[in-house]
Amino acid sequence: MALIEALIAVVVFLITYVLIVDERINRAVAAMAGAAVLVFLGIVPWENLLEYVDFGTIFLLMGMMIIVNVASNSGLFEYLAIITAKAAKGSPIMVLVLFSCVTAVTSAFLDNVTTVLLMTPMLLYIAKVMDLNPIPFLLAEVLSSNVGGMATLIGDPPNIMIASAAGLTFNEFLMTMGPIAIVDLLVILVIFYVIYGRKMKVDDTGKAAIKKTIDALDERAAIQDTVLFKKSIIALAIVIMLFFMHNNIGEILHTFLPFVDPSMTLEPAEVALIGAALILFWSRKSPEVIFEKVEWTALFFFGGLFILVGGLVETGVINDLALMMTSSLTSTGEAMFVIAWFSAIASAIVDNIPLTAALIPLIQDIGINAPNIDIYPLWWALSLGACLGGNGTAIAASANVVVLGIAEREGIKITFFDFLKIGMLVLVVTVAIGLGMLYIMF
pTM of the model: 0.78
What is the average per-residue pLDDT within 334-339? Answer: 90
3-state secondary structure of 266: coil
User: Alpha-carbon distance 28 to 58, whole Å?
Assistant: 14
Q: Quick one: pLDDT at residue 140?
A: 92
What is the average per-residue pLDDT within 199-228? Answer: 79
298 pLDDT more than 80: no
**Which residues are CB-neighbours of 205 under 8 A, at least 6 positions away?**
none
> Which of 264 and 438 is assigned the larger pLDDT?
438
436 pLDDT more than 90: yes
What is the average per-residue pLDDT within 78-95? Answer: 80
With bands split at pLDDT 50, 70 and 90, how would you rate the model's confidence at 253? confident
Q: Quick one: pLDDT at residue 341?
A: 92
- pLDDT of 348-369, one tens digit each? 876 677 778 878 888 888 888 7
- pLDDT of 394-422, one tens digit each? 767 777 877 877 787 778 888 878 888 89
What is the average per-residue pLDDT within 221-239? Answer: 87
CA angle 200, 205, 208 (to 5 degrees): 85
Q: Quick one: pLDDT at residue 249?
A: 83
- pLDDT of 315-331, one tens digit each? 888 777 767 766 777 78
- pLDDT of 35-45, one tens digit each? 999 999 999 88
3-state secondary structure of 261: coil
**Which residues are CB-neighbours of 183 under 8 A, at least 6 positions away?**
433, 434, 437
- pLDDT of 146-182, one tens digit each? 999 899 888 888 888 898 888 888 889 899 999 999 9
With bands split at pLDDT 50, 70 and 90, how would you rate the model's confidence at 49? confident
> Which of 27 and 186 is assigned the larger pLDDT?
186
1 pLDDT more than 70: no
User: Alpha-carbon distance 14 to 18, whole Å?
Assistant: 6
Sign of the CA dihedral running 316, 318, 319, 321:
positive
User: Alpha-carbon distance 48 to 411, whole Å?
Assistant: 50
Report CA 194 to chain centroid distance, whole Å.
27
Q: How much of the chain exceeds pLDDT 70, in percent?
A: 97
Residues in the chain: 442
> What mean pLDDT value characterizes the chain?
84
Q: How much of the chain exceeds pLDDT 90, in percent?
A: 19
33 pLDDT more than 90: yes
User: Rounded to a whole number, what is the largest CA-CA distance in the chain?
Assistant: 77
291 pLDDT more than 70: yes
Instruction: Output the CA–CA distances (angstroms, integers) from residue 348 to 14, 193, 379, in the order listed.
Output: 17, 24, 19
Q: Quick one: pLDDT at residue 251?
A: 84
User: Alpha-carbon distance 156 to 109, whole Å?
Assistant: 9
